[in-house]
Amino acid sequence: MRILGGIEAGGTKFVCAVGTGPDGVRSEIRFPTTTPEETIGRAIAFFEDQARQVDLAAIGIASFGPVDPNPASPTFGYVTTTPKPGWANADLAGAIGRALGLPVGFDTDVNGAALGEYRWGAARGLDTFLYFTIGTGIGGGGMVGGKLMHGLLHPEMGHMRLPHDWQADPFKGACPFHGDCFEGLAAGPAMNARWGQPAETLPADHPAWKLEAHYIALAMSNFIVTISPQRIILGGGVMSGPHMFPALRSEVLELLNGYVQSPAILKHIDEYIVAPGLGNRSGVLGAFALAEAVL
Amino acid sequence: MRILGGIEAGGTKFVCAVGTGPDGVRSEIRFPTTTPEETIGRAIAFFEDQARQVDLAAIGIASFGPVDPNPASPTFGYVTTTPKPGWANADLAGAIGRALGLPVGFDTDVNGAALGEYRWGAARGLDTFLYFTIGTGIGGGGMVGGKLMHGLLHPEMGHMRLPHDWQADPFKGACPFHGDCFEGLAAGPAMNARWGQPAETLPADHPAWKLEAHYIALAMSNFIVTISPQRIILGGGVMSGPHMFPALRSEVLELLNGYVQSPAILKHIDEYIVAPGLGNRSGVLGAFALAEAVL
């Protein structure tokens, strides 16, 4: 069995691992995301050390973004226009691949996690599904017709505009680009700014959770009518809030109002909108799957 | 060159044609959509007559819906849950194929039109793009990663929920399922109901057009962040309203606010959001392309 390297490259921390899949992780480290030089250097040092012990076949990187995931582009594997200091136009995949002399699979963090869920988790056997992370930010990726979603660049699903009832929720939104887009209304920082305390400190009966489920349900019903996914997988810290899945599933059904006539939605919504099969490991295991895909 | 049959099967009228492409239409008829028996019978009679003169290779059908476009399904080629009297669960593709003894390609009207634009029109050379018709209803389809969009069933993009400023536009929406979804706010019947007169009778300086461009721009910016299309093609009667393309292009740029950093959008929006290359012929020519695809 070929040994894979995976990097879950987040804006806050990097997770690097070596192994073969969910049950075959041989070694793993995590460290904060600082400058590109230091952070990429630590990742390279980890894999160089591992390569002395095992025969590494390829590296996969599931990266924060925006990124350039187009293998035909001269800036393939770059983090592109991020506001994160030092990381704009950083050649992440190239630096790793050259240092280690290995092929590199590279995609967005959410496409990587989607591929992990496809390979080993809640999306096995599907060809059209979506994966979201709802936490510090909101990102969405997935597969359509058996391929990871790319297109012009890659999806930025957190930036969808949603109906916003200003009387019920006068919060103006926290997105620096769009104000009250999905991420601006519903990511962790928006919850913190709206309620004056971090989401994880809000009690289970706080109205924040119902409002949060409302925005997520609005977004999901929009993604359902746009993509017609066979399943939606929702990860990220906010999704561990109280009753989030039951609340948003029932509101999705209300919003669609029977229009999408599929038993998968009408009868089996509990298996249609689900938590990641890999728990909080979709990202790093997805990076393994990205590595596997270039072999 | 193989001779193709195409049916643009609309809820109001059917267009049937025989030919090879945009410059090779040999014969064409159109007739109103009445009962399935009568309407399908007229289509069969047309093609039977044509088949006495030319060697028909296949039939393509771009159909109003919802439909079942999954070739592996027992109800492939059916119009499924439409409220149109008599047409719910009508076996459109099967009836045509059995009567003529020919292979049948079948998809939604908008996926058919998208395929026509891909083959001969404004989407040549692209692999991820969207096609919309904005008229009596609003429908969207297209390709992602080189394949027509299907998934669980097929997209129903007209039913996306959009921000709705009730003070600026107190109209409650005309969609029987969702009230003020995209179609409920912006299709022809919504314009008629809001302003008390048909869209085509509204003067060029009527505020209806600015509001219409606003809703279309909101929807398109949402589809851009969701799918990351390489181009968006907008057809249908409402798009022939005054200044629609310039107005909505500039509002899409405002809404995205520089977030999607691609020259295709930032510098070349006039070539990014475009009218159909085949004019109002995308549907029937798309039906040819659907026929070609099953050969």
Which distant-in-sequence residues (6+ apart) come within 8 Å of B258 by Cβ? A177, B266
pLDDT at B104: 98
| Average pLDDT of the segment spanning B183-195 | 98
pLDDT at B83: 85
Count the helices and strands in chain A (H runs, E runs). Answer: 10, 12
Identify which of B145, B155, B159 has the shortest CB distance to residue A147: B145
pLDDT at B125: 98
Q: What is the C-alpha to C-alpha distance for residues A109 and A8, in angstroms, rounded to an integer?
A: 7
Q: Does A125 touch chain B (CB under 8 A)?
A: no
CB burial class (10 A; 0-12, 13-18, 19+) of residue B148? Answer: buried
ipTM: 0.97
Closest-approach residue (CA) in chain B for A258: B177
Half-sphere exposure for A23 (CA within 13 Å, toward CB): 3
The amino acid at residue B39 is T
- End-to-end CA separation in angstroms for chain A: 12
pLDDT at B101: 98
Say yes or no for a CB contact (<8 Å) between A259 and B230.
no
pLDDT at B42: 98
pLDDT at B178: 97
pLDDT more than 90, % of chain A? 98
In the block, tokens 């359509």 appear at: A144
Note the pLDDT tens digit of each residue in B142-162: 999 999 999 999 999 999 999
Measure the CA angle with vertex B175, ends B73 and A185; round to 5°: 95
Identify which of A140, A151, A160 has the shortest CB distance to residue B230: A151
Closest-approach residue (CA) in chain B for A182: B222
Note the pLDDT tens digit of each residue in B200-218: 999 999 999 999 999 999 9
Torsion angle of alpha carbons A259, B210, B237, B21, nearest 10°?
Answer: -100
Closest-approach residue (CA) in chain A for B232: A152
In the block, tokens 């040819």 appear at: B288
Report whether B52 contacts B37 (CB < 8 A).
no
Q: Quote the tokens at residue A74.
A: 């001269």
Strands (E), chain A: 3-9, 13-19, 25-32, 56-63, 78-79, 90-91, 104-108, 129-134, 138-144, 147-148, 231-235, 273-274
Mutate to test the interface with B, among A165, A172, A222 (most CBs of B within 10 A): A222
Identify which of B148, B152, B257 has the shortest CB distance to residue A230: B152
* Average pLDDT over all residues of chain A: 97
Confidence class for position B107, pLDDT limits 50, 70, 90: very high
Q: Does B168 touch chain A (CB under 8 A)?
A: no
Report whether B189 contacts A188 (CB < 8 A).
no
Residue A8 has pLDDT above 80, yes or no: yes
Report whether B142 contacts B130 (CB < 8 A).
yes
Closest-approach residue (CA) in chain B for A127: B151
CA–CA min distance B141, chain A (Å): 9
Confidence class for position B58, pLDDT limits 50, 70, 90: very high
Report whether B69 contacts A145 (CB < 8 A).
no
| Pairing assessment for the beta strands B231-235 and B129-134 based on DSSP bridges | parallel
Buried b (16+ CB within 10 A) or exposed e, A36-56: beebbebbbebbeebbeeeeb
Residue A190 has pLDDT above 80, yes or no: yes
pLDDT at B1: 72
Half-sphere exposure for B186 (CA within 13 Å, toward CB): 34
pLDDT at A1: 72
| Average pLDDT of the segment spanning B100-106 | 98
| Closest C-alpha to A134, from A166, A114, A110, A165 | A110
| Closest C-alpha to A200, from A169, A247, A240 | A240
Residue B112 has pLDDT above 80, yes or no: yes
Q: Quote the tokens at residue B226.
A: 């969701």
The H-or-E segment that residue A155 falls in is none
The CA–CA distances, whole Å, from B27 to A113, A244, B116, B224 equal 51, 57, 18, 38
Confidence class for position A43, pLDDT limits 50, 70, 90: very high
DSSP, residue by residue, B158-184: GG-B----TTT------BTTTBSBHHH
In the block, tokens 């003169």 appear at: B53
Mutate to test the interface with A, among B175, B223, B259 (most CBs of A within 10 A): B259
Confidence class for position A232, pLDDT limits 50, 70, 90: very high
Residues in chain A within 8 Å Cβ distance of B158: 225
Q: How many CB pairs under 8 A join A and B?
A: 146
Half-sphere exposure for A111 (CA within 13 Å, toward CB): 32
The amino acid at residue A102 is L
Which distant-in-sequence residues (6+ apart) come within 8 Å of B49 by Cβ? none
Measure the CA angle with vertex B133, ends B164 and B95; round to 5°: 130
Is the pTM value of this prediction over 0.90? yes
Q: What is the C-alpha to C-alpha distance for residues B234 and B220, in angstroms, rounded to an integer?
A: 10
Q: Quote the tokens at residue A250.
A: 């029932």
Instruction: State whether residue B72 is helix, strand or coil.
Output: coil
Q: Directed axis angle between helix B36-51 and helix B92-100, to 10°?
A: 30
Say yes or no for a CB contact (<8 Å) between B153 and A177.
no
Q: What is the C-alpha to C-alpha distance for residues B43 and B257, in angstroms, rounded to an integer?
A: 49
Confidence class for position A132, pLDDT limits 50, 70, 90: very high
Which distant-in-sequence residues (6+ apart) come within 8 Å of A193 by Cβ? A171, A174
Residues in chain A within 8 Å Cβ distance of B80: 261
Note the pLDDT tens digit of each residue in A65-115: 999 999 999 999 999 998 899 999 999 999 999 999 999 999 999 999 999
pLDDT at A83: 85
Q: What is the C-alpha to C-alpha distance for residues B295 and A201, in angstroms, rounded to an integer?
A: 61
pLDDT more than 70, % of chain A? 100
Confidence class for position A264, pLDDT limits 50, 70, 90: very high
- End-to-end CA separation in angstroms for chain B: 12
